[in-house]
Structure 1
């Protein structure tokens, strides 16, 4: 990915036997779960509460490029980066590797938008979130 990006979160999670499909590798849908879990952990680290009736982050698009198949057993290291930061949104990027292997197994992206869940309209990023995203 040829974007300016800043590392904001790193986590590891196990590959489970049930994550594999009939081809014997991690199913493509599971990669989106890895990215989701990493994003949730990052938001929890920022003390962002996701709750009905309030403002919160939503994903308006997500993508993943599968470079090398993952297999059970293993630990996935998910690195989350932030790119462009706007009034109410930020672009995130993800790199997935297997612990102990420097090769890039998958890369993904998701645009996160802060939204008022009652109106469905975007709202400005919370100041404490913006401060972290824009810090050098």
Structure 2
């Protein structure tokens, strides 16, 4: 299963060439990742303590001009480890794949300011979005 986040293209996302700046794609991924966490990992039974991004890679496939229709950012999990998990992303609309990306996140104890194991509750949720990398 994939989480889908609809992301608006804002006028200030554009660069001098009139398309979405490469750095802005990282912001789109962050927005989708935070939306995923808030919708799925934060529950009354299993509060999501936090995670930090330790690696991110973006492959740009096509420029995104200004548009009023939102982009779709698909997020899914490709690996779950003891204290980290990997995610993949696709930024697209109905006809064009604009970017692919991957990221590694480490579960983080915000109060203790250190990495922590992925909880059993988090693992159960992450497994619902698991699509092993090809």
* TM-score category (smaller protein): 0.7 to 0.9
Aligned length: 124
TM-score, length of structure 2 as denominator length = 0.83
Task: Tell me if the contact between 1:87 and 1:124 (Cα under 8 Å) persists in the aligned partners.
Answer: yes
The counterpart of 1:38, out of the listed 16, 27, 32, is 32
Please tell me whether residue 132 in structure 1 is matched to residue 125 in structure 2.
yes
Residue 121 of structure 1 and its aligned partner are, at CA, apart by 3.0
Q: Does 2:81 correspond to 1:86?
A: yes
Q: How does 1:1-136 map to 2 (within 5 A)?
A: 7-48=1-42, 55-73=49-67, 74-98=69-93, 100-101=94-95, 103-135=96-128
Partners of 1:47 and 1:81 in 2: CA distance: 13
Q: Do the aligned residues in 2 keep the contact of 1:55 with 1:123 (CA within 8 Å)?
A: no
Shift of 1:47: 4.3
Partner SS for 2:50: strand
| RMSD over aligned Cα atoms | 1.9
- Provide Cα deviations, 1:3-42, integer angstroms capped at 9, x if missing partner: xxxx331011111111100011100111011100000001
Structure 2 residues without counterparts, runs of 5 or longer: none
Q: CA deviation at 1:127?
A: 1.9
The Cα of 1:107 is off from its aligned counterpart by 0.6
Mark the runs of 5 or more structure 1 residues left unpaired by the alignment: 1-6
Give the structure-1-normalised TM-score: 0.82
Output the CA distance in 2 between the equivalents of 1:46 and 1:57.
Answer: 14
